[in-house]
Amino acid sequence: MNIKFWLNGIQRQEEVDPGMLLIDFLREKGCYSVKRGCETANCGLCTVLMDEKPILSCSMLAVRIDGKKIVTLEGLQKEAEEFGTFLANEGAEQCGFCNPGFIMNVIAMLRELEEPDEEQIKEYLAGNLCRCSGFVSQTASILKYLNYKKTQEEA
């Protein structure tokens, strides 16, 4: 099946098998930040943005991105690097396997919620699993990042 879509800002046209999962399709296209975790849509490792909204690529067929804008972590390097510094400073990166999906959801949350509080952050990120921590350091890094972004806007 032939589909047209945007991947990280570049319009593409590809032939795709109707039964192929989006996660496999994206990894074939070099988007290795998209990780395979639970394969049951429960861990958030495979999170990408579709038309600015986070989706789980392990539970979506690739043909459904026809006409859509898909963004992976590879397409958000500047934002990801900026926030990643806050994760590292809090010791929240641990093994790093869950970071890409986690960062994708944090970026989506910041685009959707103007000034999320700690409870909203926890609720928004409830679908992300990290086997190394209890998200204390991750939450602290988000709050510090939000404060940093707020002071940048005021400057």
For domain 2-74, the CATH architecture is Roll (3.10)
Q: Give per-residue pLDDT as tens, 102-153.
A: 889 999 999 999 889 989 988 888 877 777 766 778 888 889 998 998 888 8
Expressed in percent and rounded to 5, the helix, strand and coil fractions of the chain are 45, 15, 40
Task: Tell me the whole-structure pTM to 2 decimals.
Answer: 0.87
Q: Give per-residue pLDDT as tens, 86-113.
A: 888 888 776 777 788 888 999 999 999 9
What number of H helices and E strands is found in the chain? 5, 5
Residue 106 CA to residue 9 CA, distance in Å, equals 20
* pLDDT (0 to 100) of residue 8: 98
Q: Among 1.10.1740.10, 3.40.50.300, 1.10.150.120, 1.20.210.10, name the CATH number for the domain at 76-154.
A: 1.10.150.120
